[in-house]
């Protein structure tokens, strides 16, 4: 089974909209891929989702329900690596470390710094649309 990490921006999009990010997350529930996460990424998701900006889209109850669903679905990784790759946005290194330590094959993101890498130590970094197409062709 494919091992896939969803970046925080993808998780936020899946929470607040019914578009491609949510469609993709449903594929994990259908066992089309294994969702790889770390507690660090989950905490970042909670912090971002709780910002005032997102209150017009979701309330605390919806965030809590979504977080519980993610926690029950995901395969959690303990980050052991400590490399630094993205100088412009060092917070993205947590994504790379989680994916690397979790032996993920793909990182799905909308983040320009991560997408610019295209690949990192055999990890492919792609968009949601690219992954949906890949899953459709399997």
Q: Per residue in 85-131, pLDDT tens?
A: 777 777 889 999 999 999 999 999 999 999 999 999 899 999 999 99
Give the pLDDT of residue 84: 84
38 φ/ψ angles, rounded to the nearest 5 degrees: -125, 160
> 89 vs 2, which has greater pLDDT?
2
Over residues 50-89, the pLDDT tens digits come to 999 999 999 999 999 999 999 999 999 999 998 887 777 7
Q: Where are the alpha helices (DSSP H) in 1-137?
A: 8-16, 20-29, 39-49, 60-73, 93-101, 112-117, 128-136
CA distance 89 to 93: 8
Taking the model in full, what pTM does it have?
0.93
CA distance 124 to 65: 30
Give the pLDDT of residue 92: 83
Residue ranges of domains in the chain, CATH in brackets:
2-136 (3.40.50.1010)
Give the pLDDT of residue 96: 94
CA distance 97 to 128: 20
* Cα 98 off chain centre by: 10
> 32 vs 89, which has greater pLDDT?
32
Give the pLDDT of residue 137: 79
């Amino acid at each position: 089974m494919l091992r896939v990490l969803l970046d925080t921006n993808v998780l936020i999009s899946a929470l607040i909209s019914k578009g491609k990010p949510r469609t993709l997350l449903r594929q994990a529930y259908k066992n089309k891929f294994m969702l790889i996460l770390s507690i660090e990424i989950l905490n970042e998701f909670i912090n971002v989702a709780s910002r005032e900006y997102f209150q017009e889209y979701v309330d605390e109850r919806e965030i809590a329900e979504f977080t519980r669903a993610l926690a029950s679905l995901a395969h959690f990784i303990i980050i052991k690596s400590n490399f630094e790759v993205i100088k412009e946005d060092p917070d993205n290194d947590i994504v790379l470390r989680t994916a690397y330590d979790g032996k993920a094959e793909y990182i799905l993101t909308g983040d320009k710094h991560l997408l610019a890498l295209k690949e990192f130590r055999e990890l492919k970094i792609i968009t949601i649309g690219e992954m949906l197409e890949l899953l459709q062709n399997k």
